[in-house]
Amino acid sequence: MSDLTVVRNAHVFAPEDLGVCDILIAGERIVVVGPRLQWGRLPVREIDASGRRVVPGMVDGHLHIIGGGGNEGYASRIPELWVGELVAAGITTAVAPPGVDMVAKNLDGILAKAYALDSEGVSAYMMVGGFQRPFRTFTGSVLRDIFTIEKILGVKVALGETRASRFREHELVELAAQLQWLAGTTGKACVMHAHLGGTEDPAGQLLHTMRTSGVPAERFQATHCNYTPDTMEAAQQVALAGGFVDFNPILTPDFGHPTAVPVARAILESLDAGVDSGLVTMTTDGNASVPVTLEDGTRGPYEKSLTWLWDAVVELVREGGLPLTQALSFVTTNPARALGLDARKGRIRAGTDADLLVIGADMAIEQVIARGRHVVRDGRPVAMSLYEPGRGDPDGRKALATSGG
């Protein structure tokens, strides 16, 4: 079978608008993008994307691939994600920080799951750190973990969070200095990924670190920026200082977060307030929390919220009035740059991984290619984990129910 694939007649958003082009893929990589490509007599598999848009696969820089842990007792522990769920949602690159549960949901489990997802077709990475200190490690230190384990891209710290261990300010400055050294020695982003909690000054320590450490601002990213009005204000300050700011669709009053600002509105308000669009990212924080309590006191179904990421892109375009190119940047080029993956992820161009979404006229995800592999056809995942419910179901009904598609 040929190792060449061509996506023909696609309206390509790379995320910039390239017009109608063909995309030639060899193995896992894109080799050329251009109109009316010719490949002679070489055997090529063809995917006809006439009348459709093709965009980069989404880079989700914060989701919980083995479950965030639950926060309401042992029975609220959360299951792992299946690869079919990820690709059906258009997520082709996933980065997993530790969640609330740092005991049963440990680093070994996150790394093993990242390797599993890699073998199943998507690209998966992780972070160390978390809510509770001293941080658990593989090698005895966070520094050695990042230096020796390729899949570790940075450190998650929980700031402004009543459930988390506290930092002294000099400790964060020292951690930032270590990350800067690691970035130089490894070539990785070595990002300080800061969870912002519900206190009145959630980013105070992060901003102090950014201003006093001398470390370049792009080494820092604040997440959960739409959690409260205080985190919204903090996002403006972090972005003004040059750091990345991350917003999550899961944070909404409709999903049990009464003080949260819905993600599309939060991004539009931030842009109106002068936040640099190039510093804005969106992540799902998917598979993180327990079911919502309904008005009658019963539990609603558990929502992994993976599909909400693409829904937010569509909302920003249709209702927010943003150009598709700009809305796409929040889930492609910007997170890839924040995570140091921009040489291979977040764009459609020669040399990058062949991570592609084929989008229909109604903005629904119809097909997904991840690292050159066709993983979603007609909106249904064809790449599925070994024990994923619906695997082998010929008409895909069970797979669809599992993926939320």
Cα torsion 172, 283, 63, 53 to 10°: value is -150
Residues 46 and 64 reside in one and the same domain: no
pLDDT-based confidence at residue 393 (cuts at 50, 70, 90): low
pLDDT at 405: 36
Summarised one tens digit per residue, pLDDT across range 272-321 is: 999 999 999 999 999 987 677 777 877 777 889 999 999 999 999 999 99
Residues 40 and 76 reside in one and the same domain: no
Summarised one tens digit per residue, pLDDT across range 176-211 is: 999 999 999 999 999 999 999 999 999 999 999 999
Residues 151 and 234 reside in one and the same domain: yes
Mean of the per-residue pLDDT values of the chain: 93
pLDDT at 400: 41
The helix (H) or strand (E) run that includes residue 333 is helix 333-338
Residues 52 and 116 reside in one and the same domain: no
pLDDT-based confidence at residue 136 (cuts at 50, 70, 90): very high
Q: What percent of the chain has pLDDT over 90?
A: 84
Q: Which domain holds residue 193?
A: 59-338
Summarised one tens digit per residue, pLDDT across range 48-64 is: 999 999 999 999 999 99
Residues 302 and 374 reside in one and the same domain: no
pLDDT-based confidence at residue 2 (cuts at 50, 70, 90): low
In whole angstroms, what is the distance from residue 227 CA to residue 258 CA?
9
Residues 389 and 319 reside in one and the same domain: no
Residues 301 and 193 reside in one and the same domain: yes
Residues 372 and 251 reside in one and the same domain: no
Chain-centroid distance of CA 232 in Å reads 20
Residues 33 and 161 reside in one and the same domain: no
Residues 146 and 14 reside in one and the same domain: no
Domain boundary among 283, 304, 338: 338
Cα angle for residues 298, 301, 305 (degrees, 5° grid) = 135
Residues 326 and 273 reside in one and the same domain: yes
Instruction: Provide the CATH number for the domain around residue 296.
Output: 3.20.20.140
Instruction: Provide the CATH number for the domain around residue 12.
Output: 2.30.40.10
Q: Please state, in angstroms and as integers, the Cα–Cα distance from residue 164 to each residue in 133, 134, 193, 284, 287, following that order.
A: 8, 11, 15, 21, 20
Indicate the pTM of the whole model: 0.94
Residues 124 and 158 reside in one and the same domain: yes
Cβ 66 vs Cβ 96: under 8 Å = yes
User: Domain tally for the chain?
Assistant: 2
Looking at residues 321-337, what average pLDDT do you find? 98
Domain boundary among 283, 312, 338: 338
Summarised one tens digit per residue, pLDDT across range 332-390 is: 999 999 999 999 999 999 999 999 999 999 999 999 999 999 999 999 999 999 999 98
Domain boundary among 320, 338, 356: 338
pLDDT-based confidence at residue 41 (cuts at 50, 70, 90): confident
Lowest mean pLDDT among 24-33, 74-83, 331-340: 74-83
Cβ 283 vs Cβ 246: under 8 Å = yes
